[in-house]
Homo-oligomer: A and B are copies of this chain.
């Protein structure tokens, strides 16, 4: 009989991932703060639990896919957190984006209960999650990583192992999001320069994404920015700001300047200050256009 896995966090990403685990034959004990979101999964056979702790079985595996560091810490340490119930030999498979510092702190606390923290943050939007096309960055103790690999195999198209240090996989995740945000800023400045000089934005984006930058990041964001299409949001501006803040905090904690990350932080703040928090993070390009004196018709 298949293993039972605890699954906490059923947002856009979590629901898609949990669905794939059910299809792969896993049994799931799911929990979400808003229980209604669990309905489609329950219809597929998942069992809905009342508390995070209920999802854990002694020595088992609990996967978390939550919105921020605080939510993960609550699910672990809170009154109804998983920590005690999971017990010796248990694994917390933490797949959302948290800071390396939080990951290290969680790993340390887990070790006091003889449970193991495995960091496995993912790259990909909800569509990628649904299509099992996530890329997964992994770090933690060897034996635990071996045990969760079949689960990760049911969720993504590739797993990259960054060793045993619990924060490592999250450093990788932050580095990746920083690179994406950098590409967005660069595309926004380049396409605005083109427009100010009479060159078609869409033609330029199209050329770039067929040649030097023929890869998903530039194809996705090149087209969105060229067309100024920022809704519906694939990744919220407010979450982009949160991630860049984590990047800068991680850099500061390791005593290094990251001037490009600072520039992005200022750009996100400017976009949020002007009302863009609920748009896709590529909408920072609107602030680039504004500072170039380009005004847009409201109904464009």
Q: Does A84 contact B (CB under 8 A)?
A: no
Please tell me how many copies of the chain the complex holds.
4
* A293/B273 in contact, CB under 8 A: yes
* B162/A175 in contact, CB under 8 A: no
Q: How far is the CA of A123 from the CA of B162 in the complex (A)?
A: 35
A258-273 CB mask vs B (1 if < 8 Å, else 0) is 1111110111011011
Which B residues lie within 8 Å of A187 (CB)? 179
A interface secondary structure, majority: helix
Q: How far is the CA of A198 from the CA of B196 in the complex (A)?
A: 38
Nearest B-chain residue to A255, judged by Cβ: B273
Among all A-B residue pairs, the 5 with the closest Cβ atoms: A273-B293, A215-B215, A257-B266, A256-B292, A182-B186
Besides A163-B200, A175-B191, 10 more A-B contacts (Cβ < 8 Å) are A135-B211, A165-B198, A165-B199, A172-B204, A174-B193, A196-B254, A252-B265, A256-B270, A256-B273, A290-B290
Which positions in A face B, CB cutoff 8 Å?
Answer: 100, 123, 135, 137, 158, 160, 162-163, 165, 167-168, 171-172, 174-176, 178-180, 182-183, 185-187, 189-194, 196-200, 203-204, 207-208, 210-218, 245, 247, 250-252, 254-263, 265-267, 269-270, 272-275, 287, 290-293
